[in-house]
Structure 1
Amino acid sequence: MKLKKLAALALAGTMSLSLAACGGGAKETPAPEDSTPPASAAVETPAPETKVHKIGILAPAVTHGWSAAVAYNAELRCKELGLEYKVNVSNNADEMTTGLDELKSWGAEAIVAFPQWEGMEVPIQQTIDEGIPVVNFDIAIDATGVYRVSGDNKDMGVQGAKYVVDKIGTTGTVVILDVPTSGSVAQLRKEGFLETLAEIAPDMKTIEYATQFTREAGLTDMADILTANSQIDAVYSMDDETSIGAIQAIMDAGRTDIKVITGGGGAQEYFNMMKDEQYGDLWIESALYSPAMVKDAVDMAVDILDGNPPAEDVKIIPTTIVDKDNVDQFLDANSPY
Protein backbone atom coordinates (compact mmCIF):
# COMPACT_ATOMS: atom_id res chain seq x y z
CA MET A 1 0.00 0.00 0.00
CA LYS A 2 2.81 2.43 0.77
CA LEU A 3 4.47 1.74 -2.59
CA LYS A 4 1.20 2.30 -4.42
CA LYS A 5 0.65 5.57 -2.55
CA LEU A 6 4.14 6.86 -3.40
CA ALA A 7 3.70 5.95 -7.06
CA ALA A 8 0.40 7.84 -7.27
CA LEU A 9 1.85 10.95 -5.67
CA ALA A 10 4.90 10.93 -7.95
CA LEU A 11 2.71 10.61 -11.04
CA ALA A 12 0.46 13.47 -9.95
CA GLY A 13 3.49 15.65 -9.32
CA THR A 14 4.89 14.87 -12.76
CA MET A 15 1.60 15.80 -14.46
CA SER A 16 1.40 19.05 -12.52
CA LEU A 17 4.91 20.13 -13.58
CA SER A 18 4.22 19.18 -17.19
CA LEU A 19 1.08 21.29 -17.34
CA ALA A 20 2.83 24.25 -15.73
CA ALA A 21 5.57 24.09 -18.37
CA CYS A 22 2.92 24.26 -21.10
CA GLY A 23 1.32 27.32 -19.52
CA GLY A 24 -1.71 25.48 -18.17
CA GLY A 25 -3.64 27.51 -15.63
CA ALA A 26 -5.95 24.77 -14.23
CA LYS A 27 -5.30 23.46 -10.72
CA GLU A 28 -4.62 19.69 -10.51
CA THR A 29 -6.79 17.47 -8.29
CA PRO A 30 -4.50 14.82 -6.69
CA ALA A 31 -5.46 11.15 -7.23
CA PRO A 32 -7.01 9.34 -4.24
CA GLU A 33 -4.40 7.66 -2.02
CA ASP A 34 -5.64 4.10 -2.61
CA SER A 35 -6.62 4.35 -6.30
CA THR A 36 -4.49 3.68 -9.35
CA PRO A 37 -4.81 6.41 -12.05
CA PRO A 38 -5.99 5.25 -15.46
CA ALA A 39 -3.23 4.23 -17.84
CA SER A 40 -4.20 7.01 -20.28
CA ALA A 41 -3.31 9.67 -17.69
CA ALA A 42 0.36 8.72 -17.94
CA VAL A 43 0.50 9.62 -21.67
CA GLU A 44 1.26 13.33 -22.28
CA THR A 45 0.20 14.96 -25.55
CA PRO A 46 2.99 17.40 -26.49
CA ALA A 47 1.88 20.96 -27.14
CA PRO A 48 2.27 22.06 -30.77
CA GLU A 49 5.51 23.93 -31.33
CA THR A 50 5.22 27.62 -32.27
CA LYS A 51 7.05 28.27 -35.52
CA VAL A 52 9.91 30.71 -35.18
CA HIS A 53 9.88 32.92 -38.25
CA LYS A 54 13.02 34.08 -40.02
CA ILE A 55 12.86 37.78 -40.85
CA GLY A 56 15.41 39.58 -43.00
CA ILE A 57 15.97 43.29 -42.44
CA LEU A 58 17.43 45.58 -45.10
CA ALA A 59 18.61 48.97 -43.85
CA PRO A 60 20.90 51.77 -45.00
CA ALA A 61 24.34 51.98 -43.44
CA VAL A 62 24.40 54.15 -40.34
CA THR A 63 25.23 57.59 -41.68
CA HIS A 64 22.29 59.31 -40.00
CA GLY A 65 20.83 59.14 -36.52
CA TRP A 66 17.34 58.42 -37.81
CA SER A 67 18.37 55.49 -40.02
CA ALA A 68 20.47 54.13 -37.13
CA ALA A 69 17.36 54.20 -34.96
CA VAL A 70 15.38 52.38 -37.67
CA ALA A 71 17.78 49.43 -37.61
CA TYR A 72 17.86 49.56 -33.79
CA ASN A 73 14.07 49.45 -33.45
CA ALA A 74 13.66 46.73 -36.08
CA GLU A 75 16.17 44.53 -34.26
CA LEU A 76 14.56 45.34 -30.90
CA ARG A 77 11.13 44.26 -32.15
CA CYS A 78 12.50 41.01 -33.56
CA LYS A 79 13.98 40.23 -30.15
CA GLU A 80 10.73 41.13 -28.41
CA LEU A 81 8.83 38.69 -30.64
CA GLY A 82 11.42 35.92 -30.32
CA LEU A 83 12.12 35.89 -34.06
CA GLU A 84 15.17 34.62 -35.87
CA TYR A 85 16.48 37.62 -37.77
CA LYS A 86 19.38 38.92 -39.80
CA VAL A 87 20.17 42.60 -40.50
CA ASN A 88 22.02 43.64 -43.67
CA VAL A 89 23.08 47.27 -44.07
CA SER A 90 24.30 48.90 -47.26
CA ASN A 91 25.59 52.16 -48.71
CA ASN A 92 23.80 52.12 -52.08
CA ALA A 93 21.28 50.24 -54.21
CA ASP A 94 23.85 47.74 -55.52
CA GLU A 95 24.94 46.78 -52.02
CA MET A 96 21.33 46.55 -50.88
CA THR A 97 20.50 44.24 -53.80
CA THR A 98 23.40 41.99 -52.79
CA GLY A 99 22.20 42.12 -49.19
CA LEU A 100 18.72 41.10 -50.30
CA ASP A 101 20.12 38.08 -52.16
CA GLU A 102 22.08 37.10 -49.04
CA LEU A 103 18.95 37.25 -46.91
CA LYS A 104 17.09 35.03 -49.36
CA SER A 105 19.96 32.51 -49.35
CA TRP A 106 19.90 32.61 -45.54
CA GLY A 107 16.27 31.51 -45.70
CA ALA A 108 14.35 34.67 -44.85
CA GLU A 109 10.62 34.02 -44.97
CA ALA A 110 9.81 37.74 -45.18
CA ILE A 111 11.80 40.92 -45.72
CA VAL A 112 11.42 44.25 -43.93
CA ALA A 113 13.15 46.74 -46.22
CA PHE A 114 14.09 50.40 -45.93
CA PRO A 115 15.01 50.91 -49.63
CA GLN A 116 16.38 54.42 -49.35
CA TRP A 117 17.88 54.48 -52.85
CA GLU A 118 16.35 54.38 -56.29
CA GLY A 119 16.99 51.16 -58.17
CA MET A 120 15.45 48.74 -55.68
CA GLU A 121 12.23 48.28 -57.63
CA VAL A 122 13.39 45.31 -59.72
CA PRO A 123 15.07 43.23 -56.99
CA ILE A 124 12.17 43.77 -54.60
CA GLN A 125 9.65 42.84 -57.30
CA GLN A 126 11.65 39.69 -58.03
CA THR A 127 11.61 38.79 -54.33
CA ILE A 128 7.83 39.19 -54.16
CA ASP A 129 7.43 37.10 -57.34
CA GLU A 130 9.45 34.34 -55.63
CA GLY A 131 6.80 34.22 -52.93
CA ILE A 132 8.67 36.10 -50.21
CA PRO A 133 6.57 38.93 -48.69
CA VAL A 134 8.24 42.34 -48.55
CA VAL A 135 7.18 45.08 -46.14
CA ASN A 136 8.76 48.41 -47.03
CA PHE A 137 9.38 50.86 -44.27
CA ASP A 138 8.82 54.49 -45.21
CA ILE A 139 9.64 54.26 -48.93
CA ALA A 140 7.03 53.88 -51.66
CA ILE A 141 8.37 52.11 -54.76
CA ASP A 142 6.91 50.85 -58.03
CA ALA A 143 6.51 47.17 -57.16
CA THR A 144 3.31 45.14 -57.29
CA GLY A 145 2.39 43.36 -54.09
CA VAL A 146 4.71 45.22 -51.73
CA TYR A 147 3.37 46.18 -48.31
CA ARG A 148 4.39 49.43 -46.61
CA VAL A 149 4.39 51.17 -43.24
CA SER A 150 5.10 54.88 -43.40
CA GLY A 151 4.57 58.25 -41.88
CA ASP A 152 2.40 60.60 -43.90
CA ASN A 153 5.13 62.24 -45.96
CA LYS A 154 2.79 64.42 -47.98
CA ASP A 155 0.96 65.61 -44.87
CA MET A 156 4.32 66.55 -43.35
CA GLY A 157 4.64 69.03 -46.21
CA VAL A 158 1.07 70.24 -45.76
CA GLN A 159 1.60 70.83 -42.05
CA GLY A 160 4.98 72.46 -42.69
CA ALA A 161 3.43 75.01 -45.07
CA LYS A 162 0.69 75.83 -42.58
CA TYR A 163 3.26 76.26 -39.82
CA VAL A 164 5.43 78.61 -41.91
CA VAL A 165 2.47 80.76 -42.91
CA ASP A 166 1.26 80.87 -39.32
CA LYS A 167 4.64 82.28 -38.24
CA ILE A 168 5.56 84.69 -41.08
CA GLY A 169 2.30 85.42 -42.88
CA THR A 170 1.38 84.89 -46.51
CA THR A 171 4.30 86.72 -48.13
CA GLY A 172 8.05 86.39 -47.89
CA THR A 173 10.86 84.14 -49.06
CA VAL A 174 11.07 80.47 -48.10
CA VAL A 175 14.06 78.24 -48.83
CA ILE A 176 13.12 74.62 -49.56
CA LEU A 177 15.91 72.19 -48.68
CA ASP A 178 15.07 69.36 -51.08
CA VAL A 179 16.63 65.88 -51.02
CA PRO A 180 15.85 64.42 -54.46
CA THR A 181 18.04 61.34 -53.84
CA SER A 182 15.63 60.15 -51.14
CA GLY A 183 12.97 59.20 -53.68
CA SER A 184 9.33 59.39 -52.62
CA VAL A 185 10.14 60.75 -49.15
CA ALA A 186 11.29 64.22 -50.24
CA GLN A 187 9.08 64.17 -53.33
CA LEU A 188 5.91 63.80 -51.27
CA ARG A 189 7.00 66.25 -48.57
CA LYS A 190 7.82 68.91 -51.15
CA GLU A 191 4.61 68.22 -53.05
CA GLY A 192 2.49 68.70 -49.93
CA PHE A 193 4.37 71.89 -49.05
CA LEU A 194 4.11 73.53 -52.46
CA GLU A 195 0.48 72.55 -53.03
CA THR A 196 -0.53 73.99 -49.67
CA LEU A 197 1.45 77.20 -50.20
CA ALA A 198 -0.29 77.65 -53.54
CA GLU A 199 -3.63 77.49 -51.74
CA ILE A 200 -2.98 79.59 -48.64
CA ALA A 201 -0.06 81.83 -49.63
CA PRO A 202 0.14 82.09 -53.44
CA ASP A 203 2.41 85.15 -53.27
CA MET A 204 5.08 83.39 -51.21
CA LYS A 205 8.46 83.22 -52.97
CA THR A 206 10.31 79.89 -52.80
CA ILE A 207 13.94 78.99 -53.46
CA GLU A 208 14.76 75.29 -53.90
CA TYR A 209 18.17 73.88 -53.04
CA ALA A 210 19.24 70.23 -53.21
CA THR A 211 20.91 68.87 -50.07
CA GLN A 212 21.09 65.65 -48.01
CA PHE A 213 19.60 64.31 -44.80
CA THR A 214 22.76 65.06 -42.79
CA ARG A 215 23.77 67.92 -40.53
CA GLU A 216 27.03 68.30 -42.46
CA ALA A 217 25.13 68.94 -45.68
CA GLY A 218 22.71 71.23 -43.88
CA LEU A 219 25.60 73.32 -42.57
CA THR A 220 27.50 73.56 -45.87
CA ASP A 221 24.51 74.10 -48.12
CA MET A 222 22.78 76.59 -45.83
CA ALA A 223 25.99 78.61 -45.66
CA ASP A 224 25.96 78.88 -49.47
CA ILE A 225 22.27 79.82 -49.48
CA LEU A 226 22.80 82.56 -46.91
CA THR A 227 25.64 84.02 -48.95
CA ALA A 228 23.49 84.10 -52.09
CA ASN A 229 20.32 85.48 -50.45
CA SER A 230 20.29 88.57 -48.25
CA GLN A 231 16.68 88.08 -47.13
CA ILE A 232 15.15 84.77 -46.09
CA ASP A 233 12.05 84.56 -43.91
CA ALA A 234 11.75 80.81 -43.40
CA VAL A 235 13.44 77.50 -44.19
CA TYR A 236 11.44 74.42 -45.09
CA SER A 237 13.78 71.61 -44.09
CA MET A 238 12.47 68.06 -44.27
CA ASP A 239 14.76 66.49 -41.71
CA ASP A 240 15.96 67.23 -38.16
CA GLU A 241 19.59 66.43 -38.94
CA THR A 242 19.62 68.78 -41.94
CA SER A 243 17.98 71.43 -39.76
CA ILE A 244 20.60 71.12 -37.02
CA GLY A 245 23.33 71.90 -39.56
CA ALA A 246 21.29 74.70 -41.16
CA ILE A 247 20.69 76.35 -37.77
CA GLN A 248 24.41 76.29 -37.08
CA ALA A 249 25.01 78.07 -40.41
CA ILE A 250 22.35 80.66 -39.55
CA MET A 251 23.92 81.31 -36.15
CA ASP A 252 27.45 81.44 -37.57
CA ALA A 253 26.31 84.05 -40.10
CA GLY A 254 24.55 86.12 -37.44
CA ARG A 255 21.33 86.14 -39.46
CA THR A 256 18.19 87.31 -37.68
CA ASP A 257 15.89 87.61 -40.70
CA ILE A 258 14.94 83.91 -40.60
CA LYS A 259 12.00 83.41 -38.26
CA VAL A 260 11.18 79.72 -38.67
CA ILE A 261 12.82 76.46 -39.68
CA THR A 262 11.03 73.14 -39.94
CA GLY A 263 12.35 69.60 -39.64
CA GLY A 264 11.22 66.02 -39.51
CA GLY A 265 12.12 62.84 -37.71
CA GLY A 266 12.15 63.22 -33.95
CA ALA A 267 15.80 63.75 -32.97
CA GLN A 268 16.16 64.40 -29.25
CA GLU A 269 19.03 66.84 -29.82
CA TYR A 270 16.81 68.86 -32.14
CA PHE A 271 13.96 68.76 -29.62
CA ASN A 272 16.26 70.17 -26.97
CA MET A 273 17.13 73.11 -29.23
CA MET A 274 13.51 74.25 -29.45
CA LYS A 275 13.44 76.01 -26.08
CA ASP A 276 17.08 77.05 -26.04
CA GLU A 277 17.24 80.83 -25.61
CA GLN A 278 20.43 81.16 -27.68
CA TYR A 279 18.30 80.78 -30.81
CA GLY A 280 16.34 83.90 -30.00
CA ASP A 281 13.10 84.36 -31.91
CA LEU A 282 13.71 81.47 -34.31
CA TRP A 283 10.80 79.04 -34.26
CA ILE A 284 12.20 75.50 -34.50
CA GLU A 285 9.65 72.90 -35.60
CA SER A 286 9.69 69.18 -36.34
CA ALA A 287 7.09 66.97 -37.94
CA LEU A 288 7.40 63.91 -35.72
CA TYR A 289 8.28 60.92 -37.86
CA SER A 290 9.45 58.33 -35.36
CA PRO A 291 11.88 55.59 -36.44
CA ALA A 292 10.02 53.35 -33.97
CA MET A 293 7.35 52.99 -36.68
CA VAL A 294 9.52 50.21 -38.12
CA LYS A 295 8.20 47.99 -35.32
CA ASP A 296 4.84 48.11 -37.10
CA ALA A 297 6.56 46.87 -40.26
CA VAL A 298 8.03 43.88 -38.40
CA ASP A 299 4.61 43.14 -36.89
CA MET A 300 3.03 43.30 -40.33
CA ALA A 301 5.58 40.84 -41.74
CA VAL A 302 4.83 38.37 -38.94
CA ASP A 303 1.07 38.74 -39.43
CA ILE A 304 1.47 37.98 -43.14
CA LEU A 305 3.50 34.83 -42.39
CA ASP A 306 0.88 33.76 -39.84
CA GLY A 307 -1.82 34.01 -42.48
CA ASN A 308 -3.25 37.29 -41.23
CA PRO A 309 -2.32 39.88 -43.88
CA PRO A 310 -3.52 43.46 -43.29
CA ALA A 311 -6.71 44.61 -44.93
CA GLU A 312 -4.77 47.44 -46.57
CA ASP A 313 -1.34 47.18 -48.21
CA VAL A 314 -0.25 50.50 -46.71
CA LYS A 315 -0.37 51.63 -43.09
CA ILE A 316 0.06 55.40 -42.66
CA ILE A 317 1.10 56.92 -39.32
CA PRO A 318 -0.40 60.43 -38.79
CA THR A 319 1.77 63.57 -38.58
CA THR A 320 2.42 65.27 -35.24
CA ILE A 321 3.91 68.78 -35.10
CA VAL A 322 6.43 69.48 -32.33
CA ASP A 323 7.80 72.89 -31.31
CA LYS A 324 8.68 74.69 -28.08
CA ASP A 325 5.03 74.82 -27.03
CA ASN A 326 4.67 71.03 -26.69
CA VAL A 327 8.19 69.57 -26.94
CA ASP A 328 8.28 68.55 -23.27
CA GLN A 329 5.83 65.75 -24.14
CA PHE A 330 8.33 64.20 -26.56
CA LEU A 331 11.62 64.39 -24.66
CA ASP A 332 13.02 60.92 -23.98
CA ALA A 333 16.47 60.53 -22.45
CA ASN A 334 16.52 56.84 -23.41
CA SER A 335 15.86 57.41 -27.11
CA PRO A 336 18.63 56.13 -29.42
CA TYR A 337 17.96 59.06 -31.76
Structure 2
Amino acid sequence: MVNSNLSDELAPKQFCYVAEDQSAVAEKLGATIAKAAIKKFGDKPVKAVVVGGYSGETVTQVRNDGVIAGYKSVAGAPKITYLPTRYGEWLPDKALTPVRDIATANPDLDIVFNLSDVMLPGVKQGLTDAGILDKTLIGSYDGQMSVVKEMIDDPDGPVQADASNEPYKQGQTAVDMAVDAVKGKSQDAVCPGGHLWVDTFLATPADASKYYDASRSY
Protein backbone atom coordinates (compact mmCIF):
# COMPACT_ATOMS: atom_id res chain seq x y z
CA MET A 1 0.00 0.00 0.00
CA VAL A 2 1.35 3.45 -0.89
CA ASN A 3 0.52 6.85 0.58
CA SER A 4 -3.03 6.11 1.82
CA ASN A 5 -3.88 4.17 4.93
CA LEU A 6 -5.92 0.99 4.69
CA SER A 7 -8.92 0.38 6.90
CA ASP A 8 -8.32 -1.21 10.30
CA GLU A 9 -9.77 -4.42 8.88
CA LEU A 10 -7.38 -4.62 5.92
CA ALA A 11 -4.24 -3.09 7.44
CA PRO A 12 -3.06 -6.33 9.12
CA LYS A 13 -3.04 -8.04 5.70
CA GLN A 14 -0.74 -5.56 3.96
CA PHE A 15 2.84 -6.51 3.18
CA CYS A 16 4.22 -2.97 3.39
CA TYR A 17 2.75 0.50 3.80
CA VAL A 18 4.97 3.00 1.98
CA ALA A 19 4.68 6.73 2.67
CA GLU A 20 6.48 9.69 4.17
CA ASP A 21 6.33 9.87 7.96
CA GLN A 22 3.57 12.47 7.88
CA SER A 23 3.75 13.25 11.59
CA ALA A 24 7.48 13.91 11.48
CA VAL A 25 7.32 15.86 8.21
CA ALA A 26 4.47 18.03 9.48
CA GLU A 27 6.25 18.65 12.78
CA LYS A 28 9.33 19.83 10.90
CA LEU A 29 7.15 22.16 8.85
CA GLY A 30 5.55 23.57 11.99
CA ALA A 31 8.93 24.11 13.64
CA THR A 32 10.34 25.82 10.56
CA ILE A 33 7.40 28.22 10.41
CA ALA A 34 7.80 28.92 14.13
CA LYS A 35 11.40 30.01 13.50
CA ALA A 36 10.25 32.16 10.58
CA ALA A 37 7.58 33.66 12.84
CA ILE A 38 10.21 34.69 15.37
CA LYS A 39 12.02 36.62 12.61
CA LYS A 40 8.86 38.14 11.15
CA PHE A 41 6.77 38.90 14.23
CA GLY A 42 9.22 38.89 17.13
CA ASP A 43 7.35 38.27 20.37
CA LYS A 44 4.01 39.62 19.10
CA PRO A 45 1.20 37.08 19.60
CA VAL A 46 0.04 35.63 16.29
CA LYS A 47 -3.16 34.21 14.86
CA ALA A 48 -3.06 31.13 12.61
CA VAL A 49 -5.28 28.79 10.64
CA VAL A 50 -4.70 25.29 9.29
CA VAL A 51 -6.16 24.48 5.86
CA GLY A 52 -6.73 20.75 5.39
CA GLY A 53 -8.60 18.42 3.08
CA TYR A 54 -11.68 17.05 4.82
CA SER A 55 -13.01 17.13 8.35
CA GLY A 56 -12.31 13.86 10.18
CA GLU A 57 -9.93 12.58 7.50
CA THR A 58 -6.81 10.80 8.76
CA VAL A 59 -4.31 12.63 6.53
CA THR A 60 -5.70 16.03 7.49
CA GLN A 61 -5.67 15.16 11.20
CA VAL A 62 -2.14 13.75 11.22
CA ARG A 63 -0.70 16.73 9.37
CA ASN A 64 -2.74 19.19 11.45
CA ASP A 65 -1.51 17.67 14.70
CA GLY A 66 2.04 17.60 13.37
CA VAL A 67 2.32 21.26 12.44
CA ILE A 68 0.80 22.30 15.76
CA ALA A 69 3.23 20.09 17.69
CA GLY A 70 6.16 21.32 15.62
CA TYR A 71 5.35 24.97 16.20
CA LYS A 72 4.92 24.36 19.92
CA SER A 73 8.34 22.69 20.12
CA VAL A 74 10.27 25.85 19.24
CA ALA A 75 11.37 27.87 22.23
CA GLY A 76 10.65 31.56 21.89
CA ALA A 77 8.06 31.17 19.15
CA PRO A 78 5.33 33.82 19.30
CA LYS A 79 2.28 32.84 21.31
CA ILE A 80 -0.18 31.42 18.80
CA THR A 81 -3.97 31.30 18.62
CA TYR A 82 -5.52 28.88 16.13
CA LEU A 83 -8.73 29.72 14.30
CA PRO A 84 -11.03 26.79 13.41
CA THR A 85 -9.52 24.53 10.75
CA ARG A 86 -10.70 25.26 7.20
CA TYR A 87 -11.19 22.50 4.62
CA GLY A 88 -10.40 22.79 0.91
CA GLU A 89 -11.02 19.19 -0.20
CA TRP A 90 -7.40 19.13 -1.50
CA LEU A 91 -8.43 21.41 -4.41
CA PRO A 92 -7.53 25.06 -5.08
CA ASP A 93 -11.04 26.18 -6.02
CA LYS A 94 -12.51 24.50 -2.94
CA ALA A 95 -9.93 26.15 -0.67
CA LEU A 96 -10.47 29.67 -2.01
CA THR A 97 -13.82 30.48 -0.42
CA PRO A 98 -13.20 29.19 3.13
CA VAL A 99 -9.79 30.90 3.23
CA ARG A 100 -11.18 34.15 1.86
CA ASP A 101 -14.01 34.05 4.39
CA ILE A 102 -11.82 33.44 7.42
CA ALA A 103 -9.18 35.93 6.26
CA THR A 104 -11.82 38.60 5.68
CA ALA A 105 -13.29 37.98 9.13
CA ASN A 106 -9.79 37.97 10.66
CA PRO A 107 -7.66 40.64 8.95
CA ASP A 108 -5.10 40.10 11.71
CA LEU A 109 -4.43 36.54 10.49
CA ASP A 110 -0.66 36.02 10.52
CA ILE A 111 0.09 32.37 9.66
CA VAL A 112 -1.47 29.79 7.35
CA PHE A 113 -0.50 26.14 7.49
CA ASN A 114 -1.57 24.80 4.08
CA LEU A 115 -1.58 21.00 4.20
CA SER A 116 -1.23 20.46 0.43
CA ASP A 117 0.47 22.49 -2.28
CA VAL A 118 -2.42 21.62 -4.59
CA MET A 119 -4.61 24.00 -2.57
CA LEU A 120 -2.00 26.77 -2.45
CA PRO A 121 -3.28 28.83 -5.44
CA GLY A 122 -6.72 28.97 -3.82
CA VAL A 123 -5.26 29.77 -0.42
CA LYS A 124 -3.18 32.63 -1.85
CA GLN A 125 -6.11 33.98 -3.84
CA GLY A 126 -8.31 33.92 -0.75
CA LEU A 127 -5.70 35.88 1.20
CA THR A 128 -5.29 38.28 -1.72
CA ASP A 129 -9.03 38.90 -1.90
CA ALA A 130 -8.98 39.69 1.82
CA GLY A 131 -6.06 42.07 1.28
CA ILE A 132 -3.62 40.31 3.62
CA LEU A 133 -1.43 38.05 1.44
CA ASP A 134 1.63 40.28 1.71
CA LYS A 135 1.63 40.21 5.51
CA THR A 136 0.86 36.50 5.92
CA LEU A 137 3.38 33.73 6.59
CA ILE A 138 2.59 30.46 4.79
CA GLY A 139 3.94 26.99 5.41
CA SER A 140 2.90 24.38 2.84
CA TYR A 141 3.12 20.62 2.41
CA ASP A 142 3.91 18.45 -0.64
CA GLY A 143 7.12 19.77 -2.18
CA GLN A 144 5.76 20.77 -5.59
CA MET A 145 8.60 22.15 -7.69
CA SER A 146 6.48 25.17 -8.64
CA VAL A 147 6.33 26.14 -4.97
CA VAL A 148 10.04 25.51 -4.47
CA LYS A 149 10.70 27.74 -7.51
CA GLU A 150 8.43 30.41 -6.02
CA MET A 151 10.64 30.57 -2.95
CA ILE A 152 13.72 30.93 -5.17
CA ASP A 153 12.15 33.75 -7.18
CA ASP A 154 10.50 35.49 -4.23
CA PRO A 155 12.48 34.69 -1.08
CA ASP A 156 10.68 37.38 0.92
CA GLY A 157 7.24 36.23 -0.24
CA PRO A 158 4.55 34.65 1.92
CA VAL A 159 5.64 31.03 1.39
CA GLN A 160 8.57 30.41 3.72
CA ALA A 161 8.61 26.60 3.93
CA ASP A 162 7.44 23.64 1.87
CA ALA A 163 7.67 20.09 3.19
CA SER A 164 7.94 17.37 0.55
CA ASN A 165 6.29 13.96 0.45
CA GLU A 166 8.40 12.59 -2.46
CA PRO A 167 5.70 10.72 -4.46
CA TYR A 168 8.27 9.46 -6.99
CA LYS A 169 10.26 7.79 -4.23
CA GLN A 170 7.07 6.42 -2.74
CA GLY A 171 6.00 4.90 -6.04
CA GLN A 172 9.37 3.32 -6.76
CA THR A 173 9.69 1.96 -3.23
CA ALA A 174 6.16 0.52 -3.36
CA VAL A 175 6.99 -1.30 -6.61
CA ASP A 176 10.15 -2.68 -5.02
CA MET A 177 8.13 -3.90 -2.03
CA ALA A 178 5.53 -5.52 -4.32
CA VAL A 179 8.30 -7.37 -6.20
CA ASP A 180 9.81 -8.54 -2.92
CA ALA A 181 6.40 -9.77 -1.76
CA VAL A 182 5.87 -11.73 -4.99
CA LYS A 183 9.32 -13.25 -4.61
CA GLY A 184 8.34 -14.45 -1.16
CA LYS A 185 10.78 -12.33 0.79
CA SER A 186 10.18 -11.93 4.49
CA GLN A 187 8.33 -8.81 5.58
CA ASP A 188 10.64 -8.55 8.57
CA ALA A 189 13.62 -8.47 6.24
CA VAL A 190 12.48 -5.78 3.77
CA CYS A 191 9.69 -3.90 5.58
CA PRO A 192 10.04 -4.31 9.35
CA GLY A 193 6.85 -3.50 11.19
CA GLY A 194 4.86 -3.41 7.96
CA HIS A 195 5.69 0.18 7.05
CA LEU A 196 8.53 2.01 5.35
CA TRP A 197 9.06 5.78 5.45
CA VAL A 198 10.79 7.41 2.47
CA ASP A 199 13.28 10.23 2.96
CA THR A 200 11.91 13.70 2.25
CA PHE A 201 13.13 17.29 2.19
CA LEU A 202 11.88 20.59 3.56
CA ALA A 203 12.71 23.62 1.44
CA THR A 204 12.96 27.22 2.59
CA PRO A 205 13.99 30.32 0.61
CA ALA A 206 17.50 29.87 1.98
CA ASP A 207 18.00 26.42 0.43
CA ALA A 208 15.23 26.02 -2.17
CA SER A 209 17.71 26.04 -5.07
CA LYS A 210 19.30 22.90 -3.60
CA TYR A 211 16.06 20.96 -4.08
CA TYR A 212 14.67 22.49 -7.26
CA ASP A 213 14.48 20.18 -10.28
CA ALA A 214 12.78 21.70 -13.35
CA SER A 215 12.24 18.25 -14.86
CA ARG A 216 9.91 17.20 -12.02
CA SER A 217 6.50 18.29 -10.80
CA TYR A 218 7.32 17.10 -7.27
- For Structure 1 versus Structure 2, the TM-score category normalised by the shorter chain is 0.7 to 0.9
Larger radius of gyration, structure 1 or 2? 1
Q: 2:57 is aligned with what amino acid? A: G
Partner of 2:163: 287
User: 1:283 Cα shift?
Assistant: 3.6
Q: 1:295 is aligned with what amino acid? A: Q
User: 1:318 Cα shift?
Assistant: 3.5
Q: Is the 8 A contact 2:31 2:73 kept in 1?
A: no
Superposition pairs of residues 89-238 of structure 1, within 5 angstroms:
136-141=1-6, 142=8, 143-146=11-14, 147-169=16-38, 171-180=45-54, 183-200=57-74, 203-207=79-83, 208-238=85-115
Higher RCO structure (Cα 8 Å, ≥6 apart) = 2
- Matches of 1:316 and 1:266, distance apart in 2: 16
- Matches of 1:324 and 1:182, distance apart in 2: 32
The secondary structure found in structure 1 opposite 2:135 is: coil
- Matches of 1:178 and 1:139, distance apart in 2: 16
Q: 1:326 is aligned with what amino acid? A: D
- Matches of 2:56 and 2:151, distance apart in 1: 26
Equivalent of 1:303, from 180, 191, 205?
180
- Identity among equivalent positions (%) equals 22
The secondary structure found in structure 1 opposite 2:185 is: coil
Equivalent of 1:315, from 191, 196, 208?
196
The secondary structure found in structure 1 opposite 2:163 is: strand
The secondary structure found in structure 2 opposite 1:285 is: strand
**Residue correspondences, number:** 200
User: 1:285 Cα shift?
Assistant: 1.7
The secondary structure found in structure 2 opposite 1:307 is: coil
The secondary structure found in structure 2 opposite 1:180 is: coil
Unaligned runs of 5+ in 2: none
The secondary structure found in structure 1 opposite 2:103 is: helix
User: 1:290 Cα shift?
Assistant: 1.4
User: 1:161 Cα shift?
Assistant: 1.6
- Matches of 1:264 and 1:192, distance apart in 2: 11
The secondary structure found in structure 2 opposite 1:175 is: strand
Instruction: Supply the RMSD in Å over aligned alpha carbons.
Output: 2.3
Q: 1:138 is aligned with what amino acid? A: N
- Matches of 1:213 and 1:299, distance apart in 2: 28
User: 1:202 Cα shift?
Assistant: 8.7
The secondary structure found in structure 2 opposite 1:264 is: strand
